[in-house]
Amino acid sequence: MQSVGRGVGVAAVLLLGVLALAGSAGAGSPRGGAVMQSGATAKYVPGQVVVGFRANVDPFTSGMVVSRADATAVKTIPSLSAQLVHVDGSVPDAIAAFKSNPAVAFAEPNWIYHAEAVPNDPRYTQTYGLAKIQAPQAWDITTGSTGVTVAVVDTGVSSGHPDLAPNMVAGANFVAGGPNTTLDYNGHGTHVAGTIGARGNNGIGVAGVNWNVHIEPLRVLNGSGSGTNTDIANAFAATCTTFPAQIVNASLGGTGYSTLMRNAIAGCPNTLFVVAAGNDGTSNDTTPHYPCNYGAAPDNLPNVICVAATDQNDNLAGFSNFGASVDLAAPGVSTTSTWPAYTNLYTQGFESLAGWTNSSGGTFGQSSVHNTGSFGAADSPVGNYPQSENSLFSYGSSVASLAGRQGCQLVYNLNLATELGHDYFMTYGSANGTSFSGSGWSGNTSGAFSSFTVDMSAFDGSPTFYPGLGFQSDADGIVGDGGYIDDLTLRCLNPAGEDYNTISGTSMATPHVAGVAALVKAAHPSYTVAQIVAAIFSGVDPVAGLSGKVATGGRLNACKAVGGCGSTPPFKPPPCLVPNVIGANLATAKARIKGRHCQVGKVSYVKSTKKRKGKVVSESPKAGKHLGNNAKVNLWLGRGPRHK
């Protein structure tokens, strides 16, 4: 059973808070008409560099320069002593390499000149977060790449949504029990996916941070938005094995530490996990939130980025968690994105109770106390509900056939005043009108009707469906005003339909960062996880209100992260230069190895003379080798008295 305003009692809970449905908006119109260069943020032709040679460089020398850079000539411009060349990999890296050659006068991208424009997606103007993080300027450098895969570890994704379908790839269902599908029975995962990669400039709906990207749905949360540690850890581990992805978006979390989940993340060091800070409005330094805190002490996993939420004015959202264990913030308040579409099969406004039967003697009746025509599960016409209630109020005939249907739900407005965690307003479903099952809500909605959704996918495919309502209370003597329900709707997924929603949470901030990580990888295909993280962190916009609230003190900036808008060059970890430690004792060898940005790997013991006991007699790789940062150096020591 779920509590209003409280997380469900499982290892991980969905970070989700619905605010309002998105309204319609007109299509964004292109800005300006003058053709102009955007300078450092202008778009350039991928894989092409313009190389200008010094005046005294002959054609043979210029050809050698191009050849040694593993580039190929595309076009020669003799009058300007320049060549247009094709390069593999990162254009900025190739430019830096050419500039280091004394024969080269200049090297630059093959810029594209254009009239600046916003995408033509009609709801683009509703997505304030994209402008806030300077995504349009980043799009002048790259709009993403289908060579980059982002795994959305969530409730699934409505993969047939027309704004998502072009970017979707096959994923997997990890939820134990229930339907084996990656379709989204909740909405949360589809919303996240749209922020990361709704197809841009296609005249449909919204634009994601990436217009081109592969979105891989890994379903770990059920239709109610909850899931287990085992399912989530399995999905995490799969992102570097059977369902590989460079980036994972995990807009979920809870306060329980899981070694299994921690090990799954640590076991995929080449995958970047972008995770939500949590929606409790508390410090994660005081009350750790996972998987966010796996990136902080004592685990310090380097492939985790933890994200807080900000609003339109760069204020930290009141619901957002914070702390030194949280890395940066991104827009997460009133975020508009894609949403599963539904077909309504039955509605009930409770203006009449005809057809409904009280089969258990519970206290039910029509009530106008909170809303005209609502249905009340309390003493009539108003008053506290009794103790030891266990009632059922059901419709006497089938309201719809669910044959061929998927992801069915009951959606309704509920005004609730019950003892939290003890007394529940229940919503049921039945395939035969006799055996009912469902779930309940407990708590207080402060005298107002709020929207609630209950997963009824257990009845998908049934030729008949009977709705039921109920109330459960214990015998502790504490009672309240009960529950009042209005506007009940039975609906099921329309897999190819189009819809949008505006919701809030650190869950909504997280995909902004995951999307930018994918943009960075698209612009710099050779970047490691450490380089992607450094690019994002070094590119944040400092915000006074975030100082002391998140580790970087800033809010995400997409343009700076991909290398534009006057960004600071991202930190590149120094290489490991293997030192000569032959003859040194183990402690000295370890210090020397660490000082050269390497780490000690396997330590073995071999037979040796008395003189070489306890000393390093061999190392691998050999001294002088240049390796990647923090590469392992294996050691062999002479056998000492404790190693006979």
CB atoms within 10 A of CB 545: 14
pLDDT category at 8 given cuts 50, 70, 90 is very low
Q: Is 97 part of a structural domain of the chain?
A: yes
Q: What pLDDT score was predicted for residue 300?
A: 92
Sequence-ordered strand ranges (E) for 396-465: 409-417, 424-430, 437-442, 450-455
Confidence of residue 302 (pLDDT cuts 50, 70, 90): very high
**Do 505 and 485 share a domain, yes or no?**
no
Q: Are residues 15 and 157 in the same domain?
A: yes
DSSP for residue 546: G
Q: Is residue 571 part of a domain?
A: no
Confidence of residue 421 (pLDDT cuts 50, 70, 90): confident
Least confident of 155-159, 262-266, 624-628: 624-628
Q: Are residues 529 and 621 in the same domain?
A: no
CATH, residue 291: 3.40.50.200
Query: What CATH number corresponds to the domain at position 55?
Result: 3.30.70.80
Q: What average pLDDT does this structure show over 23-41?
A: 25
Q: Are residues 412 and 284 in the same domain?
A: no
- Given a cut of 70, whether residue 40 has pLDDT beyond it is no
Verify that 149 and 252 share a domain, yes or no.
yes
Q: Final residue of a domain: which of 460, 493, 526?
A: 493
- Top pLDDT among 357 and 412 is at 412
Lowest mean pLDDT among 65-79, 394-408, 515-529, 559-573: 559-573
Residue 376 domain-assigned (yes or no): no
pLDDT per position as a tens digit, 523-571: 999 999 999 999 999 999 999 999 999 999 999 999 999 998 876 655 5
Q: What is the mean pLDDT of residues 573-587?
A: 85
Please state whether the predicted TM-score (pTM) of the whole model is above 0.75. Answer: no
213 domain residue, yes or no: yes
Residue 235: what pLDDT? 93
More confident of the two residues 467 and 644: 467
Give me the CATH number covering residue 599: 3.30.10.20
Are 321 and 402 members of one domain?
A: no
Residue 520 has pLDDT above 90, yes or no: yes
- Report, as an integer, the average pLDDT of 138-152: 95
pLDDT at position 5 over 60 = no
- What percentage of residues in the chain have a pLDDT greater than 90? 51
Contact 58/46 with Cβ under 8 angstroms?
Answer: no
pLDDT of residue 353: 79
pLDDT at residue 641 greater than cutoff 70? no
What is the model's pLDDT at position 538?
93
Can you tell me the distance from the alpha carbon of 174 to that of 326, in angstroms, rounded to the nearest whole number?
Answer: 28
User: Token digits for 164?
Assistant: 């998502």
Scanning 373-423, the segments in alpha helix (DSSP H) are: none
Could you tell me if residue 568 is inside a domain?
A: no
Task: State the pairing for strand pair 144-154/212-219.
Answer: parallel
Over 70: is that where the pLDDT of 27 sits?
A: no
Are both 624 and 530 inside the same structural domain?
A: no
569 located within any domain = no
More confident residue, 383 or 552: 552
> Has residue 347 been placed in a domain?
no
- Beta-carbon contacts of residue 610 (< 8 Å; ≥ 6 apart): none
Does 518 share its domain with 588? no
Residue 383 domain-assigned?
no
In a shared domain, residues 75 and 180: no
Grade residue 381 by pLDDT with cuts at 50, 70 and 90: very low
Q: What is the pLDDT of residue 560?
A: 95
Q: In three state form, how does the secondary structure of 242-276 look? A: CCCCCEEEECEEECCCCHHHHHHHHCCCCCEEEEE
Q: E-assigned strands of 349-431?
A: 356-358, 365-367, 374-377, 390-395, 409-417, 424-430
pLDDT bin (cut points 50, 70, 90) of residue 259 is confident
* Most confident region among 65-69, 223-227, 345-349 by mean pLDDT: 345-349
- Mean pLDDT for the stretch of residues 497-518: 95
Q: What's the mean per-residue pLDDT of the chain? A: 83
Last residue of a domain, one of 533, 562, 591: 562
Q: Mean pLDDT, to the nearest integer, of 244-253?
A: 96
Question: Domain range for residue 92?
Answer: 44-111
Q: How confident is the model at residue 37 (pLDDT cuts 50, 70, 90)?
A: very low
On whether the CB atoms of residues 280 and 287 are closer than 8 A, the answer is yes
Could you tell me how far CA 562 lies from the centroid of its own chain? 19
Residue 290 sits in the same domain as residue 395 = no
How many distinct structural domains can be found in the chain?
A: 4
Q: State whether 488 and 606 are in the same domain.
A: no
Sign of the four-CA dihedral 170, 174, 179, 184: negative
CATH number of domain containing 488: 2.60.120
Convert the pLDDT of each residue in 440-498 to its tens digit: 898 898 888 888 999 999 999 999 999 998 888 899 988 888 888 888 999 999 999 99
Model confidence at 111: pLDDT above 80: no
Whether 364 and 321 map to the same domain: the answer is no
Domain termination residue (choose one: 65, 92, 111): 111
